[in-house]
Amino acid sequence: MSMRCQINLRILISSLCVLLLGGSIAIWQARNAVDKEVDSSINLAVQLIKSGFAQAQHTETDWLSQFNALKETRHLIIQLKAPSGEMINVPQKNRQTNHEEKPPHWFVTLVEGEHPKSEHKITAFGGRQLTLMIQANPLDEITEVWQESMGFFGSLFLLTLFTFLAVNLAFNKALKSIDIIVNALKIIETGQYQQKLPDFSIQEYDSIAKAINHMTGELKTSQQENRALTSHSLEIQEDERQRLSQELHDELGQSLTAIKVMAGAAAHKKADIKQITESIISVCEHMMSVVRSMMLQLHPLVLTELGLKAAMEDLLNNWSVRNPALKITINCPDEVDALEQKINIQVFRIVQECLTNIVRHARASQAIISLEIVRLPAAGKALRLRVTDDGQGCAADKIKTGFGLAGMRERLNSLDGELTIQTKPEQGMCIIANIPLK
C-alpha cells in the first residue's frame, strides 16, 4: 500500500473514532439536556399554574388556554381532572410541526428518557379542588438537539474533508520527490552511475539525494578502477602467455631439437656415445630447471605440497638471493599450515606484491613479514598479515592507488578481509591485512 493510501486510511479511521466518540458524548449530553429541560419546564409550569389559579379571574380552562400559548410549555401536555374523575378539556395551542424536520426514530429512542405523568392537587378560583396532570412531550427539544448534532457532524465532516485535502496537498510534493528518487535508483540499478539526483527544497530529501549522489560517485570510481584492473590483468595474462610461449620456443624447443640431433648422431657407428649421453643429460637438466622455474611462476608447488610456512620461507630465500641489499625477516607460526588453500595462495600473492613494491619504490634496507592468528572481538579468529619496511614512506593521503594495491584489495575482498596502510614520510610503511577464519 502506498504512503498516500496509508495516511488517508489512518485519517479516515481517526475521523471515525472521533465521530463515534463525539456521537456518544453528544447523545449523552443531549439526553441530560432534554431531561433537565423537561424537568425544569414541569416545575415552572406547576408553580405558575398554582399561582395563576389562585389569582385567576376567569375559568380554569380559559386561563390554561392562555398559559398553553406560552412558548415555554412546548414540552408539556397539560390536563385537568375534576374530583369526580371527569377530564376537563383544555384547549391546546396549535403545534405545527414540519414532518421533514423530525429527527429519526433511532435518535429519539436514544435521547428520550422516561418521563412519567405528574399529578398535582391545586385549588382553583372559588375553592374548587382539581387535579393537574402534566405529561412531558420532549419532541421539540429532541428536534433542536438533532439539529445541533447535525451541525456538529457536518462540521466534523467538513473538517475531515479539509484534512484530507490539506494532507494530500502537503504530501504531493513529498511524494513527487520520492518518485524522482525511486526512478533515479532504478536507473542506477542498471549500472548507469552517472545518474545524479537534483537538489530538493525539503531538507530530508535533499540529504538523501546528496548521499545517493555521493554513493553513485563512489560506485562509478570503483567501476572504473575494476575495469582498469581487469584490463591490466588481461594485459598481464597475455604478456605472461607470450613470455611462456617464448620460453617454450627458445628453451624447450631448442633443447628438444638438440636432443633429437644428438640422438641421430648416436646412430652412427663412430659416434662417441659417452659424450653424446653426457650432453643429453646436461640438456635434460637444463630443461628440468627451466620447467621448474616456469612452474614456480605459474603456481608454487611447495605451497600445495608443504604448506604456507614453507612457501613463505622459499619465497624469502629467492628474494634474498636476487636482492642481497634487502634484509628480509619472516615470522610465521606452524598453525598457518592448517589454513584453507584459497587463503594460502592469496596471502602468498599479497606478500609477493608487497616485496615487489618494497624493492621498486621503498628504497628500504629491511623488511619484516609477520603472520599470526589473532582473535577479533566481533569476527572471532582471523589471520593477520603484517609487512613492514624502513623505507622512505609517504604521507597517508598521498598514497598512489596503483594496480598493485588494487589487486591486493581485490584478493582480500574475495576473502571478506580488509587492508590497512600505515605510513609516514621517512618512517617506512606498514601494510596490515586481516582475513577472517571460519
Q: CATH code at 401?
A: 3.30.565.10
Domain count, the chain: 3
The CA distance from 171 to 117, in Å, is: 60
Query: Which residues 6+ apart lie within 8 Å of 358 measured at CB?
Result: 326, 364, 367, 387, 389, 391
Above 80 in pLDDT, residue 282?
Answer: yes
Q: Which long-range contacts (CB under 8 A, 24 or more apart) does 345-349 make?
A: 345/299, 345/303, 346/411, 346/412, 346/414, 346/415, 346/435, 347/308, 347/371, 347/383, 347/385, 347/433, 347/435, 348/300, 348/303, 348/308, 348/311, 348/312, 348/315, 349/411
- Lowest-pLDDT range of 205-219, 239-253, 270-284: 239-253
Task: Tell me the CB-side half-sphere exposure of residue 393, using CA atoms within 13 A.
Answer: 18
The cell numbers describing 426, all together, are: 621517512
Above 80 in pLDDT, residue 95?
Answer: no
Q: Which amino acid is at 292?
A: R
Q: Binning pLDDT at 50, 70 and 90, where does residue 408 land?
A: confident
Can you give the pLDDT at residue 432?
93
Percent of the chain with pLDDT strictly greater than 70: 78
Residues 9 and 61 in one domain: yes
Residue 197 within any structural domain of the chain: no
The CA distance from 25 to 146, in Å, is: 13
Residues 279 and 310 in one domain: no
Mean pLDDT over 114-122 rounds to: 66
Residue 17 within any structural domain of the chain: yes
Q: Binning pLDDT at 50, 70 and 90, where does residue 53 land?
A: low
List, in sequence order, the alpha helices (H) in 190-272: 203-247, 254-265
Indicate if the alpha-carbon torsion angle 223, 224, 230, 233 is positive or negative.
Answer: negative
Can you give the pLDDT at residue 101?
64
Above 50 in pLDDT, residue 212?
Answer: yes
Residue 205 within any structural domain of the chain: no
Can you give the pLDDT at residue 331?
92
- Lowest-pLDDT range of 109-123, 191-205, 347-361: 109-123
- Out of 62-66, 85-89, 421-425, the most confident range is 421-425
Residues 10 and 157 in one domain: yes
Mean pLDDT over 106-119 rounds to: 70
Residue 201 within any structural domain of the chain: no
In tens, the pLDDT along 320-365 reads 888 888 999 999 888 888 888 889 888 998 998 899 888 888 888 9
Above 90 in pLDDT, residue 385?
Answer: yes
Residue 135 within any structural domain of the chain: yes
What integer best gives the mean pLDDT of the chain?
A: 78
Residues 24 and 149 in one domain: yes
Above 80 in pLDDT, residue 67?
Answer: no
Residues 315 and 340 in one domain: yes
Residues 34 and 135 in one domain: yes
The cell numbers describing 64, all together, are: 390554561
Can you give the pLDDT at residue 98?
46
Report pTM.
0.49
Residue 188 within any structural domain of the chain: no
Above 60 in pLDDT, residue 61?
Answer: no
Q: Binning pLDDT at 50, 70 and 90, where does residue 379 land?
A: low
Ramachandran angles phi, psi of 437, nearest 5°: -115, 140
Any idea how long the chain is?
A: 438
The domain of 242 spans 217-298
Residues 7 and 150 in one domain: yes
Can you give the pLDDT at residue 388?
93
Residues 291 and 351 in one domain: no
Rounded to a whole number, what is the largest CA-CA distance in the chain? Answer: 181
Can you give the pLDDT at residue 438?
78
Above 70 in pLDDT, residue 13?
Answer: yes
Can you give the pLDDT at residue 97?
46
Q: Which amino acid is at 211?
A: A
Where among 125, 150, 166 does a domain terminate? 166
Q: Which amino acid is at 2?
A: S
Residue 62 within any structural domain of the chain: yes
The CA distance from 372 to 378, in Å, is: 18
Among candidate residues 303, 302, 260, 305, the one with its CA nearest the CA of residue 284: 260
Residues 259 and 387 in one domain: no
What does each C-alpha distance from 342 to 236, 243, 419 come to in angstroms? 21, 26, 17
- Lowest-pLDDT range of 73-87, 134-148, 167-181, 214-228: 73-87
The CA distance from 249 to 297, in Å, is: 17
Among candidate residues 418, 416, 420, 417, the one with its CA nearest the CA of residue 432: 420
Mean pLDDT over 80-88 rounds to: 69
Above 90 in pLDDT, residue 182?
Answer: no
Can you give the pLDDT at residue 94?
47
Q: Binning pLDDT at 50, 70 and 90, where does residue 370 land?
A: very high
The CA distance from 350 to 382, in Å, is: 16
Can you give the pLDDT at residue 367?
92
The cell numbers describing 166, all together, are: 490539506
